[in-house]
Structures are given as C-alpha cells and as structure tokens.
Chain A
Amino acid sequence: MADIRPYTIAVEDERLKDLKTRLSLAKFPDELDEAGWDMGAPLADVKRLAKYWQESYDWKKAERELNQVPQFVTNIQCEGFEPLAIHFIHVRSKVKGAIPLLFIHGWPGHFEEVLKILKPLTEGGDGVKYPAFDVVAPSLPNFGFSEGPKKRGFAMEQYAETMNKLMLKLGYDEYVTQGGDWGCHISRALAFRYPKYCKATHLNMDSADPPVFLKNPILALKHAITPYNSREQHGVTRSNWFDQEGRGYNLEQSTKPQTLGYALADSPVACLAWIYEKLHDWTDAYPWSDDEICTWVSIYWFSTAGPAASVRIYYETAHNVDGRKDKIDREKMRSWSPGVKLGFSHFPMDLAVRPSTWVRTLGNVVFEKEHGSGGHFAAWERPDDIVTDVREMFGKGGGAFGVVRGVTGYTS
C-alpha cells in the first residue's frame, strides 16, 4: 500500500538541546527525611536521574537502537475524526502460517514494550516447535510517534477503530491481541466492536468485577464458596493498595488532564517523576537501569503529540462528551464479550490482581496462567513468561489454537 511509509525516529537537535537546557534550569523540592517511596518519587532518585538525563544519557544512541526494528507510519481515520499518522512496529515472520498479533501498550507505556518479545514470537516461533507470529506494535494515538486527535471524544471506540483499521490495512482479516493496561481495555473494546476480526485477546491485567448471581450464577456461587488461593489472597492486598494509595494519578487524568498537562509539557523533571513513580511502584522489583528509564521517559518527552496529550485517554474514556449511544465505558468493558476467546496471565505485582472467578465473567476464557513474580509491564519484566503463555494459548493444544482462519502459526 502506497501510504504505508517506513519510519525512522529522528528527534531534532534543537529538541535535544532544549531538553538539556530545561534540565539545567531544574528546580527541585526539598524532601522529608524518612519518606521513602510512600509519599511518591524520592528526591534522590529523581535528582540522580535528571542529572544523568542531562549529562550522560545518549538519546541518539537509544534512537539508533530503536530504529533497528522495522517501523512504519500510515494514516488511519476514524469516523468523525481527522486522519492520524499512526506509527507502528511491524515484523512479519518467515513462516507462512504465522498468526497476526497486535501488541497494544498502555500508560505510561509505549511501543517499546514489545521489543523483548518481538524476536521470540516472530523468529523463535519457527512454525514447527513453536507457533509463529507476525507482530504489529503501534504507538497509540496521542502516544509515542503517532499523532493525536484535535477533537474531543476520542475514546475506546476510536482507539479500537484505529487498531482494527490498521490491522485490516496490513492485510490481516483476522488477528489476535496481547496487552495490559490500556492494551487490555482496548482489546476489550475490539472484542465488543470487531469480533469478526479480533478473534482472541491475551491479557495481562485483571480488569474485572466480582460475579453477580443474576449474570453469572455459577461463577457467583463458586466465588461465594471456594476459598481464594494464595495468589488471589495476595491479590486482594495488592489491589486494595492500588485502590487506596495508587489511583490519584488516574483520578486527576480522568477529570483534569489539561491542568496536569501544563506541568508535563513544560518540565521534563515533572514528566520524569510522574512516570518514574509508576515504573517503580507497578513493577516487581524490576532492576531498571538509568538508561532504560531515560529512554522510557524520553519517548514521552519527545512524543509527536507531546506528553500532555497522553493522559487525555483517561478523560475521554471516563466521560461521554458527545452523548454517544453504546459508549464503551468501564461497565461495558467488564461485561461478557461473546465470540472472542480470552486468555489471562496473572502477575502478582500488577495493579488489579483478581480471582479467577472474576476474570471469567468477561467471556470465554480459554487460557489462564498464574505467575509467581512480575508486575504491570509484563512484556518488559517477564518477556519469557509472556512468550510462553502466548505460545501456549495459541499453539497446538492451546485453547485458542486455530482461532485465526487459515493460519495456525505452524508450517502446514
């Protein structure tokens, strides 16, 4: 297709200089003694990272490495909105029967999260021992190197429409998804809107409500009488922690994204602290290097739409700004989606860690695996687990084997 163009990340020198200037002018808070992580990102960490980002971190080197992965851009237009240039990684397997897999990132994540699972899925999947995948990993609109909408109301419906149109444009009539965070929510939206194309979703976040007797009598009964296993018990503690202590960013982004946006657009330190706190709190003791963190935050700082734009997805999903019918809201996403196979990988340090009976209210769960470690950014923290689980779900003997018409992941 003529308008799928190769893409090279190339941040202009003035922007790099501007970043360094801003970091050199940074003004830091004082901090309480003994505060640790409880009250938010610690001063010593943020100061160290800001200094590293300013003086030692080499964006151009990171850019070169990112550019080793095949990237493209194409225009996708949602009904009622302007066309947006969508950036994406696309790697086709050499195996003819490879399964098309759409990897959807979340916030504060991005397309880079796919990098550790990319080769195992597309090359390690040899089509004989392991199923092979074609992988598409876009920057969501308002994130990474994709454009963002200038019109209000770009919500789950539009994110799903964009993703679906992208896959169809790439020649994939049917496909599966993998995702956590917004990747999970958008996968749910795809399941509701496009069950004809999106045949299965593998999720690493448990966004589900408890079963209620009227809707899911068997699950509700099971939930009532079966004690939680140890994963589920620990999950209660973790999920409660997130609800009580970890959702402030979510409420602000869901109600006043514009107010927050000024700080994110003006201060790289603000951006760094806002994101870095999550990279720490949401992962399972992942040993972030300063380079990893700076690259992660730089993708936000240098994003096409700007760091302030990325938080709007929360507001648009939480509000029905144009009174649309059939809005895909929180309640909808947590209801039964017919016709699409679901798989769940549970990681103990994710944010919503829910019992099996809860996630089984979402649809036909054909795969479920519990892990002993790992957190929210599963593909980055535990790529081997994600790869194993995806292979198991879609491979021979798996619950979603053959779910995409015509391609099983194996050489015929």
Chain B
Amino acid sequence: MGSIIKPYQIAIPDSKIEKLQLKLSHVSFPGQTSFSNDRKYGAPLDDIKRLAKFWQEKYDWRRVEAELNKLPQFTTTISVDGHEDALKVHFIHQKGHKPNSIPLLFCHGWAGSFLEVTKILPLLTSTSSNDSEEPTFHVVAPSLPNCGFSQSTSRPGFGIAQHAEVCHKLMLQLGYDKYVTQGGDWGFLITRAMGFLYPNHVLASHMNFILSLPPSPLHTPLLVLQYLTGRYTPAEKAGLERTQWFRNEGSGYSQIQGSKPHTPGFALADSPVGLLAWIYEKLHDWTDKYPWTDEEILTWISIYYFSEAGADASIRLYYEILHPATTAEGKAAPTMESYMKWSTVPLGLSYFPQDVIVLPSSWGRTLGPVVFEKRHEEGGHFAAYEKPQLLVSDLRNTVQKVIGR
C-alpha cells in the first residue's frame, strides 16, 4: 500500500515560467477611469498593475518553490468509482510529535490551496510548551483534484462525493482508519460528505465556514419564529448582513462558475492578469484586513497558474455542485442541500465575522451534534491562514470534547 506513495518536490519547468514572463510583458490593462480603484466595482487597477509588475520583475518563484519544498510533500494514486483508476493526488503529510497523535484531514477550498495549512501545521503537530496535555495531530492536507499539484479529472460528474472519496481513501492509504476533519469553503461540503459516506471513520468534523438550511416552517418552525422575531445577537445580525452583501454583491463569480465554468476558464487559462484579478478580489474582500504582502498574493495565485490541471480546472466543481450528476446506475448524486441535513458526526463550528456566509448559531445546530461552537470577533474566510491560533484552539477544543484528550 505504501509503495505508490512517493515524496514530491514542486519543480515547475522553466518553460512555464518563461511563458508567464512573456505574457506579463505583453499585458494590456483596462482603461483608467475615476472609479478604476473603487473596490465596489472589482479589483482596483492600481493594485493589479502593481502586482503584475511585481510578478514580472521581482517575484522569485524559484525561491518560493524552494521554501515550499521544505514542507513534507508526497503524491499517491487513488482510484475513484466511475472516474480515474489512478488519479494522482498531491498532499502534505506531517506526523504529530506524540505517538498517539490524532489523524487530521485538512480540506482546502476555492480560491485557496494546500498552502492554507502551512501556518497551522506546526501548531497542530507539536504542543505549545505550557500544556503538554494537548493532543497533537498527524496532518494530511491534499491538493484537491483539479487544484494545486494534483491531477485533473477528465469526466463530468466529479462532484463533492468524489472529492470525499479521494480524501477518505487518502487517509486509509496512510493507515488512518479513523480521523478528524477540518475544512472551510468546499472543505465544508467535502468533509460533511465524508461524514455521511464514511461515518465509521470520521470521528469529528471542525468547520470554519458553515452552511446550513434556512429555517423552514415545516421542518424547523422554531427557527422561523426566531427569524421573524429578530431574536439574534448583534454578531448574528451582522453576520446575516454580511451574508446578504455576499449574495447581492459578491456572488457573480459563483454564479458564472456554477453555470458556465468553461467560458471564464479561457480567461483564467490565458491571462495571468485575468487570473490575478479574479482571485485577488477575493483575497481582499473575503478576509478581515489581512495584511497580504505582494509575495503572498502572488504565491497564492501562482499555485493556480502553475497548477497541474491549469487555473481553469478548479472552478468546475462549482458546476458539479449545482448540477448533481446521475450515476451510471441511474442514481442521482446528492444535492448541496443534502449535505446540510442532520449528520451524526460530532461537530465543531467556528464563526468568523468577515467570512462570506455567516449564519446564526441556531441554524448551524441543525447540522448535527455540535460539541463545540465559537463566534469570533475577527477573522474571515481563510481562517487557518488569517487566524491560525484561534482555529487550532477551536479544533483542539472540538477534539477534546469528542476524544476526551
């Protein structure tokens, strides 16, 4: 079983870097207007110009690559029912210091990557010096298929369940029969699916991005009552406003990716600046004043640009989520809503105020047995990257409630 797992080092060919340089040297920007830097319209022109220039002239991918290659990276192949027999999956795998470390699957989302685990990795695999009672974790953080340095998938219908299958089989390959999960963005849906599909393996799930079904007069009348009488905390009310903003002003990318992903795919594949703007807008809007350096931004984007599957492949998952495919046996794949029904897996929920969907706590409690819940006063969508200490603390608290250590 271990023989297909190989150590991996990122090694982007020179030709790819040269092509990027060539394209950046030919970049053509939209014309300047008095509102080119008004964020409400999208990524500001001055920012994108500055970042494109930095990317072309100063950004040193080889140095970044060397830094990333200090992380313990591997690849393996995984078969997926109805899809590839040997899908190449790239992942970080770092063992915890303690012998009884708990296996943890960290599942990234869009527009993130395996990079999102890098700040919490040392915190999870070792203990803070004061408290040697804290559990440590064996951390597994894959590049999801079609992202980072994992292979692209070739057939339609590679949806949430297939991603869950990949993550689960990865854990089994590594010898982790039982594990906990951590995720946000797609990671929410994928880890929920893992809980439904592999309930005997998922010990607990911690999420920092919580989707739940809205109150329904039929199923959750008390939640409807709460909604109508406005009995929410100020933080919950602010969360609903934030969610409304996201729905009204921040969801265009999601709607186009969820309906016609191939069309913007051409833009993301062909124009580095197009890709930069598409993602950078989110890195700003979805975070809580995170002080991105230009190098950080370009590294996040370079992971997409240099990805194995191409920058365009990752967005197809939005389409798959909204168009559940019918299996060969004629069975309909689960809808997104089905992952928000009650699950028996113990849950830890962390609400960060500048995330993009921030729902009331009572809604989150319809997802399953919530053993730990915290509503933070700072932090956004990429919680593991923005607030690593807070996230790790919440994760440890969740696990302690379930495993008792």
Contacts and interface: CB of A to CB of B under 8 A. Distances in A.
Interface in A201-249: 244-249
B24 to A, nearest CB: 10
A253 interface: yes
A48 B255 CA distance: 27
A267 B33 CA distance: 20
A77 interface: no
A28 B33 contact: no
B263 A277 contact: yes
Nearest to B30: A308
Interface centre among A30, A274, A309, A315 (most CB of B within 10 A): A30
Interface of A: 18, 21-22, 25-35, 38-43, 46, 148-152, 244-249, 251-267, 269-270, 272-274, 277, 305-306, 308-309, 312, 315, 319
A262 B281 CA distance: 12
Interface centre among B29, B253, B264 (most CB of A within 10 A): B264
A152 B40 CA distance: 11
A42 B265 CA distance: 10
Contacts of B262: 29, 31, 35, 39-43, 273
Interface centre among A18, A272, A274 (most CB of B within 10 A): A274
A40 B263 CA distance: 5
Contacts of A253: 252
B27 interface: yes
A262 B43 contact: yes
B255 to A, nearest CB: 4
A173 to B, nearest CB: 34
Interface centre among A34, A258, A270 (most CB of B within 10 A): A258
Given A39-B156, A258-B44, A266-B27, A150 B251 contact: no
A244 B255 CA distance: 9
Interface stretch (B178-186, B188-196, B309-317): B309-317
Given A309-B31, A315-B41, A41 B266 contact: yes
A28 B259 contact: no
B154 interface: yes
A259 B33 contact: no
A42 B263 CA distance: 8
A365 B264 CA distance: 39
Interface in B218-255: 248-253, 255
B31 A248 contact: no
B277 A273 contact: no
A234 to B, nearest CB: 21
Given A151-B34, A273-B263, A25 B23 contact: yes
Given A40-B263, A255-B251, A150 B34 contact: yes
Interface stretch (B199-207, B267-275, B352-360): B267-275
B87 to A, nearest CB: 14
A267 B155 contact: no
Given A245-B259, A258-B36, A273-B263, A26 B252 contact: no
A262 to B, nearest CB: 4
Contact of A262 (B30, B155, B255): B30
B369 interface: no
A29 B312 contact: yes
B253 A256 contact: yes
A141 B250 CA distance: 26
Interface in B9-49: 19, 22-23, 26-36, 38, 40-45, 48
Contact of B313 (A30, A43, A254, A272): A30
Nearest to B48: A262
A148 B251 CA distance: 27
Given A26-B270, A248-B257, A256 B252 contact: yes
B55 interface: no
Contacts of B125: none
Contacts of A42: 262
B333 interface: no
B59 interface: no
B75 interface: no
Q: Which 3 A-B pairs have the closest CB atoms?
A: A263-B274, A258-B42, A40-B262
A309 B27 CA distance: 17
Given A262-B276, A277-B260, A306-B30, A252 B255 contact: yes
Interface centre among A29, A42, A253 (most CB of B within 10 A): A29
B266 A256 contact: no
B388 interface: no
Nearest to A41: B263
B270 A28 contact: yes
A315 B41 CA distance: 8
A270 B313 contact: no
10 contacts: A29-B312, A39-B156, A40-B261, A40-B263, A148-B31, A255-B251, A258-B36, A258-B45, A262-B276, A273-B267
Contact of B277 (A245, A259, A274): A259
B29 A265 contact: yes
Given A262-B48, A262-B276, A22 B26 contact: yes
A248 B260 contact: yes
